[in-house]
Amino acid sequence: MNFFTPHPAGNHHIFSIQHIIFMIAALAIIYIIGNQFKNSDKKRTEKFIKVMAIIILTFDPMYWFWEISHFGQMRLGTSLPLYLCSLFWILLPFVAFAKKDSLIYKIAISWICTVSFVGGFMGMFFCVYLNQYPFFHFVPIRSLTYHFFMLLVPYVLRVSGYYKSDIKDAMYFYIPNLILLLPSFVLDKIFGWDYGYLNGGTGTPFAIFSSIMPLPLFIIVLYSLLYFVMCFVFYYKHINLHLKTKALLKNSSN
């Protein structure tokens, strides 16, 4: 079967043996590569980020070209860069090339080092394309590789010491998600699409939860839960220290 066949025949399932082997190998490779950057020279890490920023810009155009060449058009309901994971290729160039004291850089790097971790893991683990195509096909391979990079880049940024988190990042990292919801909401409302899971996350694990509650409640719960879970995982120490310092200052003033 051709690697680029648009409608492969047969039954295909997520969590096949190839998928599981890929995930184990990917995590091992991320760990090995990341360790090469421990206590690394800052310029070396910056070169890595710049190379990755350029490479990752090719992933969506590759998919658009594949769709156009096989279907004669882009399927706008699923191919626009309005997924949370799309923010990876949109924001990484700002981490690579923006001024380090600029607000856009701080927002971008805080997103890359938090949401990208979660999105990369979920996208690699729940690669729904594997329910439609065999493992060795352009569509799932492209998606798995993209989400592999979503895990690799923030891991390198963290273990190298290049990214030093701050209490303000607990606010900055979620801003891109909220901005992305604006066009997603409008287009989903007009065309019935499902960007940002705003129509229930059809075909994803989120559909399980959207099916048992009203859609507005699902959206509020989903994005609130994502925010608080990521805050706890990535910024608990900063938030805890901030609260303790605030309490000490209050007690000392009394």
Residue 71's pLDDT is 84
- Count CA atoms closer than 13 A to 26's CA, side-chain side: 23
Residue 70's pLDDT is 84
- Say if pTM beats, i.e. exceeds, 0.85: yes
Residue 167's pLDDT is 85
Residue 60's nearest CA partner among 33, 31, 43, 81 is 81
Residue 48's nearest CA partner among 61, 62, 36, 66 is 36
Residue 9's pLDDT is 56
Give me 143's structure tokens. Answer: 């998606």
Residue 201's pLDDT is 87
- What DSSP designation does 113 have? T
Position of tokens 């648009």? Answer: 6
CA of 15: how far to CAs of 9, 49, 131, in Å?
Answer: 18, 31, 9
Give me 73's structure tokens. Answer: 């058009």
Report how far residue 53's alpha carbon sits from residue 77's, in angstroms, rounded to the nearest whole number: 26
- Count CA atoms closer than 13 A to 131's CA, side-chain side: 6
How many beta carbons lie within 10 A of that of residue 9, not counting itself?
Answer: 8
- Count CA atoms closer than 13 A to 168's CA, side-chain side: 7
Residue 250 exposed, middle or buried by CB count within 10 Å (0-12, 13-18, 19+)? exposed
Residue 112's pLDDT is 96
Per-position pLDDT tens, the chain of length 254? 465 555 555 677 788 899 999 999 999 999 999 999 987 788 999 999 999 999 999 999 999 999 998 888 888 888 999 999 999 999 999 999 999 999 999 999 999 999 999 999 999 998 988 888 888 889 999 999 999 999 999 999 999 989 988 888 889 999 999 999 999 999 999 999 999 999 998 878 888 888 899 999 999 999 999 999 999 888 888 777 656 666 666 666 65
